[in-house]
């Protein structure tokens, strides 16, 4: 099964981004747009994981703790690697410093189970679209520039999720397998 570890985003943020995505999708169908219901902040992509390893993954993730919840502000738009050669179109995430520590703890726990370490530094974001070619249509560039300063909402959470990605002809379908509380409950 294809697995990843992520933070879920709140409904208000999802709705704000769904509105933006509908506007941009109307301009061009060219990039592969992410469905709003699939938006999340990836903490670690595991890839294909056998049933025999699933319990070890759950056990390792269940031990991860933080003294504080993480706080995230969703704002701004951009591209990886850059606007001139876009591969990924994203919404920005400004996070409390402990999010990077949480991602590092997850990375370390998964590395002990022989999952490869990420080559790139952790950079929280919401993937909105993926480009097959590096061509960015001018009308889309203009709309993104106009919407770049937008704020989409915030999140405070003390839990992350192990999620299965089922690839379907209509796109990926996500199923939450396990919820992991990592910080004291939000008051």
* Mean pLDDT value across residues 39-54: 97
Domains for the chain: give ranges and CATH numbers: 2-181 (3.90.1140.10)
Two structure tokens written together for 49: 């994981």
144-175 residue pLDDT tens: 999 999 999 999 999 999 999 999 888 889 99
Q: What predicted TM-score, i.e. pTM, was given to this entire model?
A: 0.93
Q: What is the sign, positive or negative, of the torsion defined by CA atoms of 63, 163, 7, 32?
A: positive
Reported in sequence order, the residue ranges of the chain that DSSP labels E, i.e. its strands, are 2-8, 32-33, 40-48, 70-82, 85-95, 125-130, 151-157, 159-168, 171-181
57-116 residue pLDDT tens: 999 999 999 999 999 999 999 999 888 889 999 999 999 999 999 999 999 999 999 999
Residue 125 annotated to the active site: yes
Q: Which of 74, 125, 129, 155 does the annotation list as catalytic?
A: 125
Between the alpha carbon of residue 9 and those of residues 71, 86, 159, the distances in Å are 11, 24, 11
What's the pLDDT score for residue 172? 87
Dist. CA 44–CA 74, nearest whole Å = 19
126-147 residue pLDDT tens: 999 999 887 888 999 999 999 9
**Contact (Cβ atoms closer than 8 angstroms) between residue 103 and residue 125:** no
**Res. 187: pLDDT tops 70:** no
Q: Give DSSP secondary structure letters for 105-117.
A: HHHHHHHHTTPPP
Among the residue ranges 35-39, 42-46, 87-91, 131-135, the one predicted with the least confidence is 131-135
Q: Which of 6, 40, 44, 99 does the annotation list as catalytic?
A: 40
Residue 8 annotated to the active site: no
For 69-107, give one letter per residue: b (16+ CB within 10 A) or e.
bbebbbbbbbbbeeeeebebbbbbbebbebbeebbebbb
What's the pLDDT score for residue 176? 97
DSSP, collapsed to helix, strand or coil, labels residue 177 as: strand
**Contact (Cβ atoms closer than 8 angstroms) between residue 130 and residue 32:** yes
**Res. 120: pLDDT tops 80:** yes
**Res. 54: pLDDT tops 70:** yes
């Amino acid at each position: 099964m294809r697995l990843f570890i992520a933070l879920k985003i709140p409904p208000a943020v999802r709705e704000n981004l769904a509105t933006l995505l509908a506007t941009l999708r109307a301009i061009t169908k060219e990039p592969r747009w992410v469905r709003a219901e699939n938006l999340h902040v990836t903490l670690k992509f595991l890839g294909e994981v056998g049933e025999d390893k699933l319990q070890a993954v759950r056990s390792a993730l269940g031990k991860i703790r933080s003294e504080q919840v993480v706080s995230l502000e969703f704002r701004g738009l951009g591209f990886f690697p850059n606007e001139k050669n876009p591969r990924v179109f994203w919404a920005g995430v400004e996070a409390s410093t402990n999010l990077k520590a949480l991602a590092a703890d997850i990375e370390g726990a998964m590395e002990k189970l022989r999952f490869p370490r990420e080559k790139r530094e952790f950079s929280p974001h919401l993937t909105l679209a993926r480009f097959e070619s590096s061509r960015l249509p001018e009308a889309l560039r203009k709309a993104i520039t106009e919407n770049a300063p937008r704020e989409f909402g915030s999140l405070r959470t003390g839990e992350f999720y192990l999620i299965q990605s089922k690839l379907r002809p209509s796109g990926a379908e996500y199923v939450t397998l396990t919820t992991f509380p990592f910080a004291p409950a939000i008051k």
